[in-house]
Amino acid sequence: MGQGYLLGVDIGTYSSKGVIVTTEGQLVASHTVPHGMDMPKPGYFEQDADQVWWHDFVIIVQNLLKKTALDPRQILALGTSAIGSCVLPIDEEGNPLRAGILYGIDTRASEEINYLEEVLSREEIFNRCAMHLSSQASGPKILWIKNHEPDVYQKTRWFLTSEAYLVYKLTGKPSIDIYTAAGYAPLFDVYKKEWIPEIAEYITPLDRLPPLYWSGEVVGEVMQQAAQQTGLLAGTPVVAGTTDAAAEALSAGVADFGDMMLMFGSSIFFIIKTQELIPTQRFWSSNFLEAGSFAFLGGMSTSGSLTTWFRDQFALLELNEEKNGGVNAFTSLAEQAAHSPPGSRGLVLLPYFEGERTPLHDPWAKGLLFGLSLKHTRADIYRAILEGVAYGIRHNLEAMREENVIPERVVAVGGGTKNPVWLQIVADVCRIPLQVPTEQIGASYGDAFLAGRGIGLFNDLTEIRKWVKIKETITPNYEISPQYDFYYRLFRSLYDQTKELMHDLTNQLIK
């Protein structure tokens, strides 16, 4: 039968990705499938469970097996992750009753949030869930189904997340992992790690909520029918997965307490592993992937979305050059930005082009470019964008410190890490060294590791360290850091002094 391998599959917002890796963490093959998202109404975001989630999974597994020419018996175990937390109602037979309602981008349940906060009290919810209700919370979305689609609600046997739906299709068993369950607020008590009976009457009886697992615990085995569809061997162990962000953190080597993943995606995302649950108004916190570990999370609204915006609006020449086989437009912009000095010759950018999440929680915040003069060049402005995001990261780190959360090791991942100028700016502005992993495979890599944990290949999740190699460490230049301090203070004051005007402007725009 030969060597054994592990399989991991992650369902993202715009694409799904699967990998097959050796038990030492060596990547053997990967496969990616793009997909779309339905927006039936403004603020409504959905994906079809079978046509997107399960379909992608099947295609990916079939392709991986084909690419690697592995005997399915060589797949020792598999794990899944997905965007989260989503809500999918399924009936007694396991058939989806409607499309899956997506995570925080779907804002349909605002009335339900108001209702639940009224009847349960904001404080009480926070005391048990360690978070306030927002569009991220799944409880109000379940209530929305109950209120707006009573037929669906009546027929619902289980409410499942997207990664758990894959597990269900494979094993016939409902499940949810404890990290993701926090997203089912106000139904889940993050301290006791159990569904809350008193809240059931306001939303749904608890018997429609799936059994709880730690990530990497085996939920069941691949059933015959799923085996036929996917090409996997019946009987292959399937573990409880998790939300993509947590799987991503694992894949970046977040192993020890104090390890932080700094994700440079279209937005910035932070996950830090902590020794205890730290309830906070300004951030999010939850159980992490195994008993005794916790996660402290933050997220900004923009990052790569800003550099992409700038490239698409103002770097047509570079884009053309890239299309004609020349240098990548981002590389070329970064080189130009490197020639502008720290402080971008007196420019400060507030990156709140989409409002801001942590630590401001201000959806009405706006972008601002301050200090313009006729001497400024396009390169100065591009650098100001890179610096503005760095100031936002520093703001988050400082606010975390106020909560006594101090990262001891920061691993930077995501598309933005291809930009060495940006990484250096962030290191200098925040005075933190940034480690960049050799391989950035993403959440599916973490899923594969969880699968290995499930069948006892690893004693605990800290062994991910063996898998993740660090390519380089960007160290702060402490001579430059003080220069940024002035601009950073200005950055903070700019928001404080113009916040009201941002809100007034929003009021004018929605009138």
Partner 1 sequence: MNTSVLVGIDIGTTATKIIVIDLDGKLQGEVSLPAALFSPQPNFAEEDALQWWRNVCQGVPLCLQQAQVDPEQVLAVGVSGMVPTIILVGTDGFPLRNSIQQNDARSHVEIDFFKSQLNEKEVFYKTGSAITQQSIGPKLLWLAKNEPDRFAKTWLVMGSYDYINFCLTGQPTLEQNWALESGLFDLHRRDWDDELLSLSRIRREQLPPVHAPSEVIGKVSPEAARQTGLLAGTPVVAGSADHVASAFSVGLKENGDLLVKLGGAGDILYSIDRLEIDERLFLDYHVIPGLYLINGCMASSGSILKWFRTQFAPELDYPDLDREAEGIRPGSDGLILLPYFIGEKTPIFDPLARGMFFGLTLQHTRAHLYHAILEGISFGFLHHIQVMKERGWEIHRVRVANGGAKSHLWRQVTADVIGYPLEEVAHHPGSSLGAAFVAGMGVGAFASWSDIEKYISISHVTQPFLENHEQYLQRFALYRQLYDSNRSHFRTLAKIEGIAEQVVLD
CA distances from 309 to 226, 331, 356, 508 (A): 42, 15, 17, 24
Verify binding: residue 191, partner 1, rule CB under 8 A. Answer: no
Verify binding: residue 241, partner 1, rule CB under 8 A. Answer: no
Tell which one of 170, 271, 300, 368 touches partner 1 (CB under 8 A): 368
What is the phi-psi region of residue 125: left when phi exceeds 0, alpha when psi lies from -120 to 50, beta otherwise? alpha
Tell which one of 313, 324, 438, 459 touches partner 1 (CB under 8 A): 313
Amino acid letter for position 5: Y
Tell which one of 128, 366, 394, 395 touches partner 1 (CB under 8 A): 366
Verify binding: residue 364, partner 1, rule CB under 8 A. Answer: no
Verify binding: residue 14, partner 1, rule CB under 8 A. Answer: no
Verify binding: residue 324, partner 1, rule CB under 8 A. Answer: no
Helix, strand or coil for residue 502? helix
399 phi and psi, to 5 degrees? -70, -35
Retrieve residue 352's tokens.
């709140």
User: From the CB of 45, what's the least distance to partner 1, in Å?
Assistant: 17
8 A C-beta contact, residue 350 and residue 491:
yes
8 A C-beta contact, residue 133 and residue 120:
no
8 A C-beta contact, residue 432 and residue 394:
no
User: From the CB of 490, what's the least distance to partner 1, in Å?
Assistant: 6
User: From the CB of 103, what's the least distance to partner 1, in Å?
Assistant: 20
Which stretch, 71-79, 121-129, 314-322, 415-423, contacts partner 1 (CB under 8 A)? 314-322
8 A C-beta contact, residue 198 and residue 190:
no
Which stretch, 50-58, 106-114, 179-187, 343-351, contacts partner 1 (CB under 8 A)? 343-351
Verify binding: residue 382, partner 1, rule CB under 8 A. Answer: no
Retrieve residue 335's tokens.
């080189």
8 A C-beta contact, residue 278 and residue 405:
yes
Tell which one of 316, 327, 406, 470 touches partner 1 (CB under 8 A): 316
Q: What is the DSSP letter of 168?
A: H
8 A C-beta contact, residue 121 and residue 70:
no
User: From the CB of 355, what's the least distance to partner 1, in Å?
Assistant: 9
Verify binding: residue 327, partner 1, rule CB under 8 A. Answer: no
Closer to partner 1 by CB, 408 or 485: give it: 485
How many residues in the shown chain lie near partner 1 by CB under 8 A?
A: 41
CA distances from 99 to 71, 92, 337 (A): 34, 16, 44
| Partner residues linked to 27 by β-bridges | 21
Tell which one of 371, 403, 462, 481 touches partner 1 (CB under 8 A): 371
294 phi and psi, to 5 degrees? -130, 160
User: From the CB of 411, what's the least distance to partner 1, in Å?
Assistant: 27
Say how far apart CA 306 and CA 312 lie, in whole Å. Answer: 10
User: From the CB of 394, what's the least distance to partner 1, in Å?
Assistant: 17
Tell which one of 317, 327, 406, 470 touches partner 1 (CB under 8 A): 317
Counting Cβ atoms within 10 Å, is residue 152 exposed (0-12), middle (13-18) or buried (19+)? middle
Beta strands in 190-244 (DSSP E): 194-195, 212-213, 218-221, 237-239, 242-243
Tell which one of 7, 145, 306, 443 touches partner 1 (CB under 8 A): 306
Tell which one of 95, 281, 377, 475 touches partner 1 (CB under 8 A): 377
Helix, strand or coil for residue 82? strand
Closer to partner 1 by CB, 169 or 395: give it: 395
User: From the CB of 414, what's the least distance to partner 1, in Å?
Assistant: 18
H-helix or E-strand spanning residue 469: none
Helix, strand or coil for residue 485? helix
| Partner residues linked to 212 by β-bridges | 176
Counting Cβ atoms within 10 Å, is residue 189 exposed (0-12), middle (13-18) or buried (19+)? buried
Tell which one of 22, 134, 305, 473 touches partner 1 (CB under 8 A): 305
Closer to partner 1 by CB, 22 or 483: give it: 483
Name which of residues 460 to 499 contact partner 1 (CB under 8 A): 486-487, 489-490, 493-494, 497-498
Verify binding: residue 309, partner 1, rule CB under 8 A. Answer: yes
Q: Would you give the binding string for partner 1 spanning residues 108-147, x where CB under 8 A is met?
A: ----------------------------------------
Closer to partner 1 by CB, 168 or 330: give it: 330
Say how far apart CA 121 and CA 494 lie, in whole Å. Answer: 34
Tell which one of 354, 439, 460, 463 touches partner 1 (CB under 8 A): 354
Which stretch, 27-35, 231-239, 247-255, 312-320, contacts partner 1 (CB under 8 A)? 312-320
Tell which one of 367, 407, 437, 442 touches partner 1 (CB under 8 A): 367
Verify binding: residue 378, partner 1, rule CB under 8 A. Answer: yes
Retrieve residue 248's tokens.
């991503």
Angle at 60 between CA 56 and CA 64, to 5 degrees: 175
Closer to partner 1 by CB, 201 or 496: give it: 496
8 A C-beta contact, residue 283 and residue 297:
yes
Verify binding: residue 39, partner 1, rule CB under 8 A. Answer: no
Verify binding: residue 314, partner 1, rule CB under 8 A. Answer: yes
In the complex, the residues that contact partner 1 under the rule CB under 8 A are 302, 305-306, 309, 313-314, 316-317, 343, 346, 348, 353-354, 366-374, 376-378, 381, 486-487, 489-490, 493-494, 497-498, 501-502, 504-506, 508-509
